């Protein structure tokens, strides 16, 4: 056997490699609690993170876990756990990230230019807050 060959790992595609990369990101405490912060600048439209997902029946995500899942795009009433840092992006009505979801991943991209040390945020949407009978966190701080 050729010791230089890693078998199936020799065929790792670009998506697999990107999924686990967290270059330019760090998790730390901020004014919204624990969040994800940029350690470098990101240009508008630049891919920030590609997160793999795990689909689960929605009735298996009661309690606190239910605050951290996304609805599945499969239209089957399921939810997905977003791995990587995807579950840690805090809410902002002026979010600096947009995201696109497919059957296996959620891709986060810069919605505008992002500076180093900025917290990375997404807009949870009005339904997220309504379902919890809460108001969005104030942007004032």
pLDDT by residue (tens digit) across 89-125?
988 888 999 999 998 999 999 999 999 999 999 887 6
In the DSSP assignment, the letter for residue 129 is H
Spatial distance between the Cα atoms of 82 and 65, rounded to a whole number of angstroms: 11
User: How far apart (Å, rounded) are the C-alpha atoms in residues 77 and 5?
Assistant: 42
30 pLDDT band, cuts 50/70/90, is confident
Could you tell me which residues come within 8 angstroms of residue 79 by beta carbon, excluding any fewer than 6 positions away?
Answer: 55, 56, 57, 58, 61, 66, 69, 70, 71, 72
Domains of the chain plus CATH, in order, are 7-131 (2.170.270.10)
Instruction: Quote the pLDDT of residue 6.
Output: 46
């Amino acid at each position: 056997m050729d010791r230089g060959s890693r078998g199936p790992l020799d065929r790792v595609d670009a998506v697999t490699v990107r999924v686990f990369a967290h270059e330019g990101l760090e998790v730390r405490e901020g004014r919204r609690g624990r969040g994800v912060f940029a350690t470098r600048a990101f240009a508008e439209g630049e891919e920030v993170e590609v997160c793999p997902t795990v689909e689960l029946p929605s009735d298996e995500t009661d309690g606190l876990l239910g605050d951290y899942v996304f609805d599945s795009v499969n239209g089957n009433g399921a939810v997905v756990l977003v791995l990587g840092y995807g579950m840690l992006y805090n809410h902002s009505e002026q979010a600096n990230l947009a995201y696109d979801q497919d059957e296996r991943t959620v891709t986060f991209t810069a919605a505008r230019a992002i500076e180093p040390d900025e917290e990375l945020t997404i807009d949870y949407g009005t339904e997220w807050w309504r379902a919890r009978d809460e108001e969005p966190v104030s942007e004032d701080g």
